[in-house]
């Protein structure tokens, strides 16, 4: 993937596209341009959550465990279209029945994202894209809870996992 040529939509806090900008500008830690991303949490029928370990080639948080699927929108793309595309690209899964559960603004020292969060359940086995993800596996909720705050997960995943727990959305996923 050539990240230098990737263009992101820039949005307002309601998700309305107001312009576009190159990926490197959105992630430079200076512009803090709000850009939309989609996250999917894929549970299996046993209540385990699939997590991906970010590739070491990623510009942000390489080698950290993260949401099942996460990716940026393309200019003009709707959340559901970005979701389907990213799920297929990162896990090889198609035709999942995903449910939108929330959105929020995430800020880090390098970027600001408008995050659209979805949950789904399947017993199909994800086939990861090794260009994007180093590995992936299903984790028990207890395993995740035991490893929170230990530097294993991305800060955004930990924040989002706690939001899902607080709203009882983890139990509703399966």
Start-end of H helices in the chain: 23-26, 79-91, 141-147, 155-166, 169-172
Q: What is the pLDDT of residue 5?
A: 84
Distance, in Å, from the CA atom of 127 to the CA atom of 167, rounded to the nearest integer, reads 29
The mean per-residue pLDDT over the stretch 133-155 comes to 96
C-alpha separations of 59 from 24, 26, 91, 97, 129 in Å: 9, 12, 20, 30, 17
Tokens found for residue 117: 């969060």
Per-residue pLDDT tens over the stretch 66-115: 999 999 999 999 999 999 999 999 999 999 999 999 999 999 999 999 99
In sequence order, what are the residues at sequence separation of 6 or more whose Cβ sits closer than 8 angstroms to the Cβ of residue 143?
A: none
Q: What does the pLDDT read at residue 96? A: 95
Q: Around Cβ 160, how many Cβ atoms within 10 Å?
A: 22
The whole-number pLDDT of residue 169 equals 78
CA atoms within 13 A on the CB side of 142: 1
Q: Using the predicted structure, report yes or no on whether residue 131 has a pLDDT greater than 50.
A: yes
Q: What is the pLDDT of residue 173?
A: 56
User: What percent of the chain is predicted at pLDDT more than 90?
Assistant: 85
> How many CA within 13 A on the CB side of residue 1?
15
Cβ(66)–Cβ(143) under 8 Å? no
91 near 66, Cβ under 8 Å?
A: no
Q: Regarding predicted confidence, which is higher, 36 or 60?
A: 36
pLDDT of 1 reads 46
Question: How many CB atoms sit inside 10 A of residue 54's CB?
Answer: 20
pLDDT at residue 58, as a whole number: 85
- Both tokens assigned to 29: 């830690």
User: What's the rounded Cα separation, in Å, for the pair 124 and 59?
Assistant: 29
CATH 3.90.79.10 fits 3-169, yes or no: yes
Q: What is the mean pLDDT of the chain?
A: 93
- Secondary structure (DSSP) of 112-143: EEEEEEEEEE--SPP---TTTEEEEEEE-HHH
Q: Above 60 in pLDDT, residue 3?
A: no
């Amino acid at each position: 993937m050539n990240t230098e040529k990737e263009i992101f939509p820039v949005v307002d806090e309601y998700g309305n596209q107001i312009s576009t900008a190159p990926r490197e500008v959105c992630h430079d830690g200076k512009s803090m341009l709000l850009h939309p991303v989609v996250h999917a949490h894929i549970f299996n029928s046993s209540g385990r959550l699939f997590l991906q370990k970010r590739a070491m080639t990623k510009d942000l948080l390489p080698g950290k465990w993260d949401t099942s699927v996460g990716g940026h929108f393309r200019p003009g793309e709707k959340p559901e279209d970005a979701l389907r595309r990213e799920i297929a690209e990162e896990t090889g899964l198609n035709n999942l029945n995903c449910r939108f559960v929330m959105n929020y603004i995430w800020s880090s020292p390098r970027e600001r994202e408008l995050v659209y969060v979805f949950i789904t359940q399947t017993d199909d086995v994800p086939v990861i894209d090794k260009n994007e993800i180093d590995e992936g596996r299903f984790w028990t909720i207890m395993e995740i809870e035991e490893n929170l705050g230990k530097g294993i997960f991305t800060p955004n995943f930990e924040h989002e996992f706690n939001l899902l727990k607080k709203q009882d959305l983890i139990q509703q996923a399966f």
